[in-house]
Amino acid sequence: MTIDNLTGYKPTWCPGCGNWGIYTALKNALTKLKLSADKILVSFGIGCSGNMNDFLNAYAIHALHGRSIPMAIGMKIARPDMTVIAVVGDGDCYGEGGNHLLHALRGNHDLTVIVHNNSVYGLTTGQTAPTARQGYRSKSTPLGIIERPLNPLSLALTQGVSFLAQASAGNVVNATEIITQAIKHQGLSLVNFLQPCVTFNKVYTYDYFKQHTYLLERDYNYRDYNLALQKAEEYSQEKFALGVIYQEKRPTYTDYLNKLTQTKKALDYHLLLQEFS
């Protein structure tokens, strides 16, 4: 299988948009894993990232704003044999869909969640997203945002993520490897992509991320939870580690679900009637 088999219509993103790098890294990873389009289910959120629905050749759905993850969960429960991916934006996943993310982390659903984090709502012309720095000015916050920015890494860690990584849209080679590992992981994989919005965000540029990112060392222990928390906290200090920050192996939601459905009591309609009669 080649990348061409995964390509739909030609993308319409702004020239230089970070979405191009994420799109390329995702297709590279799927090709590397030899996953054909008929073995992939993708749930897209609303926003510029969600427009990838037209550009990636796979079985997919364009969910409502903030609802991509529950759609992906339904896909995985219905078809546990398929590779399920949620492609979302930071406003879509950390804003409107934040509650769904929290509960997906609790359940350790076997999904790969790829978050395009550019700190703005790009499709609706640059309003402030939850990850924008305090004081950031936009159309929706002309005097500057009041709230502190959300730290998606520490949030995910403290709520039970079993695979956490961070990648840069400007480093496709590194991002390809990260997405590959994320898809191979059994459990919920969250990849936070640092993505420039060249049209509406003049703060988080490619030059900014070059200055503020670094690759995790080869001997970095991604199974050390406390060390991962330290790396996650660097996000709030505008220092961004690239690579797999944390990974642990534990049963997935569908693993537990299979155990439940294998018991006669759970399957026997008449036994249930007796219990509740």
* Residue found by looking up tokens 């502190």 in the block: 148
Q: Which residues contact 78 (CB under 8 A, 6 or more apart)?
A: none
Nearest-5° Cα angle at 61, 92 to 22: 60
Enter the tokens of residue 39: 């073995």
Enter the tokens of residue 214: 């670094």
Distances (CA, A) of 270 to 252, 258, 260, 261, 275: 29, 20, 17, 15, 9
Q: Do the domain assignments include residue 217?
A: yes
Q: Do the domain assignments include residue 267?
A: no
Q: Do the domain assignments include residue 266?
A: no
Enter the tokens of residue 55: 């550009």
**Stated pTM of the model:** 0.92
Q: Which residues of the chain have pLDDT under 70?
A: 1, 262-272, 277
Identify the CA nearest to 176 among candidates 22, 44, 13. Answer: 22
Total domain count, the chain: 1
Q: Do the domain assignments include residue 272?
A: no
- For residue 7, what pLDDT is reported? 87
The DSSP code for 46 is: S
Angstrom distance (rounded) from CA 91 to CA 88: 8
- For residue 253, what pLDDT is reported? 94
Angstrom distance (rounded) from CA 236 to CA 75: 34
Distances (CA, A) of 44 to 52, 134, 200, 255, 272: 8, 28, 22, 25, 38
Q: Do the domain assignments include residue 269?
A: no
* pLDDT tens profile 43-64: 999 999 999 999 999 999 999 8
Q: Do the domain assignments include residue 83?
A: yes
- For residue 264, what pLDDT is reported? 55
Angstrom distance (rounded) from CA 41 to CA 240: 30
Structural domain of 229: 3-249
Q: Do the domain assignments include residue 12?
A: yes
- For residue 2, what pLDDT is reported? 74
CATH code for the domain of 150: 3.40.50.970
Enter the tokens of residue 99: 């509650």
CB 170 within 8 A of CB 18: yes
Angstrom distance (rounded) from CA 234 to CA 229: 9
Q: Do the domain assignments include residue 260?
A: no
